[in-house]
A and B are shown apart, each in its own frame.
Chain A
């Protein structure tokens, strides 16, 4: 079942922060985050595994709330290069279940 992402789209000024949420009605084993720029392939950002954790890389970090089956991606002090569509992908807790991407959140960072 496809996870839900919110918001659908967000427009920021350079230097502002953003949060993108991803939630599922299923028990999850992992949540993946990807960014796709127009006309390009998706690029991996990070993966969060069951057990609830938070990961970060410089100004992009994410958390996974296992109880709520929800993950959030945090982008701080956004840069122009952050523009793109962000997809979360979820893998259900049952072995062999589908890996499903959310519908995406379109992020535009303006100068």
Chain B
């Protein structure tokens, strides 16, 4: 158990819909990272937050947005969902710029 929690575990929705994925980092970790992993694909970095502020941005679509709240939990919002958005979404946390501890992931299926 990495100490990072993600909810929900599974999410099934339809095209055009909007969903919110939630991540609670390990106690004391200020950084939160979001990744997308499509079936049998590598890890695509989406975005990083550090203590509530956006720190780095990867190939995140405009339909996607994220934020980190004062209690350090983070949410990833995915809107106008397309079939191609079906993937495993991981959140990871770290104390600074070092070891990233990954949550178990949220499997999103868009039908």
Contacts and interface: CB of A to CB of B under 8 A. Distances in A.
B102 A42 contact: yes
Interface stretch (A16-24, A59-67, A69-77, A91-99): A91-99
Output the residue of A30, A41, A97 with the most chain B CB within 10 A.
A41
Given A87-B42, A99-B45, A47 B99 contact: yes
Interface string B96-111: 0111111111000000
A96 B45 contact: no
Contacts, number: 50
Given A32-B100, A41-B105, A100 B58 contact: yes
A99 B33 contact: yes
A9 interface: no
27 contacts: A32-B99, A32-B100, A41-B2, A41-B90, A41-B102, A41-B103, A42-B90, A42-B102, A43-B2, A44-B99, A44-B101, A44-B102, A47-B98, A47-B99, A87-B42, A87-B43, A89-B43, A89-B100, A91-B97, A96-B56, A97-B56, A99-B33, A99-B56, A99-B58, A100-B58, A101-B35, A101-B44
Interface of B: 2, 33, 35, 42-45, 48, 55-58, 90, 92, 97-105
